[in-house]
Structures are given as C-alpha cells and as structure tokens.
C-alpha cells in the first residue's frame, strides 16, 4: 500500500492506495520438496551431514505429542515475518524462496505471508504445508476479489451483498473445510484495508457515509451536531461488518477453530473522515483475534517521503482504542528505495527499533519484500536488499533477540 497523507497535512503527493494490481501484460500498476531416504541410508546421511559441519540447520520440528496447538501471543518480544515476492497473485510459495530470503536477512521467519484470492476458488493447502513444515505460521490474505485483480474498479462478482445473499456459501464452506483439514494454526486477514478506496470490499463502494436505511442521519442527530455527536451508523462500514461477521461465522461453523482472525486496516483511513475511521469497521471482539494494519512509507515517485514514526503514532493509538487487550500486528510494512527523497536504512532502523521501545502491544511485524514495475516503466523496490545499506540496516535490526524467529505454540485448549 502506498505512502499516506496524514490529517496533519504532511503529505502533498497524490495518494496511491493498495499493495498492487496487475495489468494484462503482467506489469504491476500499484502493485516443498520431500526427499524419501531409506533406513539403511540414514547412518551414511548422518555422517555426511556431520562432515559438512552442519552447514544448513534443520528446520524447527513441530510438536507432535501435545495434540492440536495454537499460536501464542509472546509475552516478551514480537514475531518477525515477511511476504517474499511470491508472484503477481502473491501465492507462488516455494521453500526455495523462503530459505533464500532467510539467508539474505540472517533470520528464520516466525510468520510467512501469502494470498488466497477468491477468484482462484481454491484453498492454498500446498502453500500452507510448505510454510508449516518449515517451522513458520502462515498468514493468509483472504481477499474476495475477482480476476484480473484490478484496483479502483468497484464491485465484482464477490461484492459484499452477494456474499451476504449466500451466493458464495459453497466456496466459503470448501475453504473452511480445507482449513480445518490442514489442522495447524493459520492467521487469516479477511478483506484487508477496507478503510481505503482501492479494493472492491472497501466501504467507499457500499454507500460510504450515507446513513443506513431506517436510521437517523448521522449528520442530524437530534440535539447534537455531528461530528461532536456519536457518528453513524454509516452504510459502507455497516455493510463490511455484516459481511465480515457472516464469513467468520460460516468458517467457524465448519469447525475451522485453528484459524486466528486478523482485523487488518490501513494505518490512515482514506478518506480521512470520521465515517471511514477504523472503529466504524470493527466487527467486535468476538470476531477478531489480532488487530492489524499496513504501514508503508514512500512507494512511488510522486509519493512524499515520511519517516516511520508519524506513520504509526496516531494509528497505533486509534487501533489500541478498539480493544484494550488484543495483540497488534503490522500485517504489512515497508518502504521503497528513494535516496534523493529520504533514507530507507534510517526508516528501517527506526521501525525495528522504535516498535520495541514505544509500541508495547505490537506483537508481530510482517515485512513486505517485493519489487515491481509500474506503468511508467520505473520500479518500486521494497525489497530488504534494495541497496547494501538497506539490507545491512534490516539485518542488524532483526538480529535483536526482541524479534522472535520461531512461533510459540501451546496446546489449543490453553488459548
């Protein structure tokens, strides 16, 4: 997602929302192998590995003797995670890509993120198995979005009213059944960044600030002048909440209790108006396990540069106000390499350092490691290694033991 213009007026360049979209030509416009070894060979294999000096550590072994497990919220530190440039649909997950990124940054990832678009009508079983067997927790961006996955296009066949009418119940049920069959913890961000204007599930496309039919206009609350009076209910956010609850209820009814739900917003609402603040979209504590947001610095040539802390300070207070206890996740964060505008190494140092010193409820941060070509022909490079200096800053930052490289798993009954 693009850099934000704050209500303080720091940003003067046009806002460009969304993580990416793909043109028919493939230009981004915003945007495990199993080795079977026979028993007699095991001794020889062990000697060979010993001779090699254990040059490649084995992935963490998942617990098998305590029954179903769930992801625990760390009491100390926060999980480190990443999305690792898994292709145009963000779902081309491979063990090679994961291990290459981890060698690059010098750290195993507790969380590995990828997407599952409704337009594919599948459940990403193979992707999740790769991630789980590697010793990480999958974070899935489950998006009700149809091909060709263009932003700013409004409704498609997965529009929120169609979901509420039950047109996609069979798909939701199949997805939920496959999630249950997977049997391991999954973080699911359903319909993320709804408080922007670029995705087809955004409140912007469902009436926005119009009053819900049959309710008093929020602009004419008797005896009070909006916005001093209690705002809402508004048509756009109310439609989103209904659809979110509908999907979560249906998944849970299929027994997929291994799913942890991430309520995932963009840090500054676009438009920055009370009807579109994140509290208007919050479906309630019974439907959310983690609070999350996207926090991006400059991604495009015409974005203004902004340091990290102003991008998080006010949004952190806003999201904390939704619930006093739920853990918070930077479900996406990153910045492009624009040395004439600002220092990406400094942005990274500030992010990885100040999260642990100023934002105690942040318990996970997922870095967006991607490079794409824009229609203008230039590139947006958010990768950790966009420059030697940026990579050095990222490696030093995540090397701090505060950033946990392995998920903490506990028996599911202890959740």
- Structure confidence at residue 165 as a pLDDT band (50, 70, 90): very high
Q: What is the pLDDT of residue 214?
A: 74
Range 248-254, long-range pairs (CB < 8 A, 24+ positions): 248/190, 248/283, 248/287, 250/169, 250/172, 250/173, 250/176, 251/172, 251/175, 251/176, 251/179, 252/176, 253/176, 254/173, 254/176, 254/177, 254/180
Instruction: Write the CB contacts of 388 (distance below 8 Å, at least 6 apart in sequence).
Output: none
* Block residue for tokens 């969304």: 18
Cβ burial of 213 (10 Å; 0-12, 13-18, 19+) is exposed
Residue 250 in tokens: 């249906």
Lowest mean pLDDT among 26-35, 36-45, 161-170: 36-45
Torsions phi, psi of 318, nearest 5?
-65, -45
* Residue 221 CB neighbours (<10 A): 16
Lowest mean pLDDT among 36-50, 141-155, 312-326: 36-50
- Structure confidence at residue 215 as a pLDDT band (50, 70, 90): confident
Per residue in 173-182, pLDDT tens?
999 999 999 9
Which H or E element spans position 412?
A: none
Q: What is the pLDDT of residue 66?
A: 63
Residue 8 in tokens: 């303080």
Residue 295 in tokens: 């926090």
Give strand ranges (E) for 172-244. 186-190
Q: What is the pLDDT of residue 200?
A: 98
Contact (CB, 8 A) for 332 and 294: yes
Length of the chain: 415
Of the ranges 13-22, 57-66, 70-79, the best mean pLDDT one: 70-79
- Structure confidence at residue 213 as a pLDDT band (50, 70, 90): confident
Higher pLDDT, 30 or 282: 282
Cα–Cα distance between 378 and 184 in angstroms, integer?
41
Q: What is the pLDDT of residue 18?
A: 52
Q: For the stretch 37-64, what's the b/e string if a residue is b when 16 or more beta carbons lie within 10 angstroms of its beta carbon?
A: eeeeeeeeeeeeeeeeeeeeeebbeeee
Which numeric CATH code is attached to 64-414? 3.20.20.80
Cα 295 → chain centroid: 10
The helices-and-strands tally (H runs, E runs) of the chain is: 9, 13
Q: What is the pLDDT of residue 340?
A: 97
Please check the confidence at residue 140 and state whether its pLDDT lies above 80. yes
What mean pLDDT do residues 388-400 have? 98
Higher pLDDT, 324 or 48: 324
What mean pLDDT do residues 237-248 have? 98
Q: How far is CA 354 from CA 77, 287, 360, in A?
A: 12, 29, 10
Percent of the chain scoring above 90 in pLDDT: 78
Q: What is the pLDDT of residue 231?
A: 65
Of the ranges 33-37, 59-63, 127-131, the best mean pLDDT one: 127-131
- Structure confidence at residue 413 as a pLDDT band (50, 70, 90): confident
Please check the confidence at residue 211 and state whether its pLDDT lies above 60. yes
Q: What is the pLDDT of residue 242?
A: 98
Cα–Cα distance between 88 and 267 in angstroms, integer?
24
Tell me if residue 384 falls in helix, strand or coil.
coil
Please check the confidence at residue 216 and state whether its pLDDT lies above 90. no
Per residue in 82-109, pLDDT tens?
999 999 999 999 999 999 999 999 999 9
* Residue 236 CB neighbours (<10 A): 25
Please check the confidence at residue 4 and state whether its pLDDT lies above 70. no
Tell me if residue 374 falls in helix, strand or coil.
coil
Task: Give the dihedral of Cα atoms 165, 250, 248, 174; nearest 10 deg.
Answer: -100
Per residue in 305-338, pLDDT tens?
999 999 999 999 999 999 999 999 999 999 999 9
Find the largest Cα–Cα distance for the chain.
84
What mean pLDDT, rounded, does the chain reach?
A: 86
Domain boundaries, the chain: 64-414
What mean pLDDT do residues 370-388 have? 96
Q: What is the pLDDT of residue 135?
A: 98
State pTM to two decimals.
0.85
């Amino acid at each position: 997602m693009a850099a934000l213009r704050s209500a303080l007026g720091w940003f003067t360049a046009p806002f460009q929302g969304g993580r990416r979209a793909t043109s028919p030509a493939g230009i981004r416009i915003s945007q495990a192998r199993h080795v079977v070894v026979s028993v007699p060979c095991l001794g020889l294999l062990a000697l060979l590995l010993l001779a090699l000096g254990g040059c490649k550590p084995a992935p963490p072994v998942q617990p098998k003797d305590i029954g179903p497990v769930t992801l625990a919220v760390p009491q100390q530190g926060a999980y480190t995670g990443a999305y690792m440039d898994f292709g145009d649909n963000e779902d081309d997950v491979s063990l090679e890509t994961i291990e290459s990124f981890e060698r690059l940054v010098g750290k195993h990832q507790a969380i590995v993120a990828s997407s599952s678009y409704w337009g594919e009508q599948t459940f990403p079983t193979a992707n999740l198995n790769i991630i789980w067997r590697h010793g990480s927790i999958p974070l899935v961006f489950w998006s009700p979005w149809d091909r060709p996955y263009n932003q700013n296009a409004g409704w498609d066949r997965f529009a929120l009213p169609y979901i509420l009418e039950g047109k996609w119940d069979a798909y939701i049920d199949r997805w939920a059944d496959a999630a249950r069959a997977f049997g391991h913890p999954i973080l699911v961000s359903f319909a993320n960044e709804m408080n922007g204007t670029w995705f087809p599930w955004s409140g912007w496309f469902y009436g926005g600030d119009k009053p819900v039919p049959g309710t008093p206009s929020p602009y004419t609350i008797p005896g009070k002048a909006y916005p001093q009076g209690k705002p809402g209910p508004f048509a756009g956010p109310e439609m989103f909440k209904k659809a979110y609850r509908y999907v979560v209820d249906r998944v849970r009814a299929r027994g997929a209790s291994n799913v942890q739900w991430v309520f995932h917003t963009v840090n500054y609402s676009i438009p920055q108006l009370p009807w579109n603040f994140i509290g208007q979209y919050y479906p309630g504590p019974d439907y959310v396990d983690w609070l999350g947001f996207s926090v991006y610095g400059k991604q495009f040539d015409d974005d203004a540069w902004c340091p990290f802390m102003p991008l998080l300070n006010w949004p952190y207070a806003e999201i904390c106000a939704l619930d006093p206890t739920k853990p918070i996740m930077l479900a996406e964060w990153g910045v492009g390499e624009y040395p004439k505008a600002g220092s990406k190494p400094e942005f990274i140092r500030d992010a990885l350092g100040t999260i642990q010193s100023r934002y105690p409820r942040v318990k996970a941060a997922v870095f967006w490691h991607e490079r794409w070509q824009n229609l203008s022909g230039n590139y947006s490079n958010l990768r950790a290694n966009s420059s030697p200096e940026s990579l050095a800053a990222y490696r030093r930052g995540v090397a701090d033991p505060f950033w946990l490289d392995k998920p903490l798993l506990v028996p599911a009954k202890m959740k």
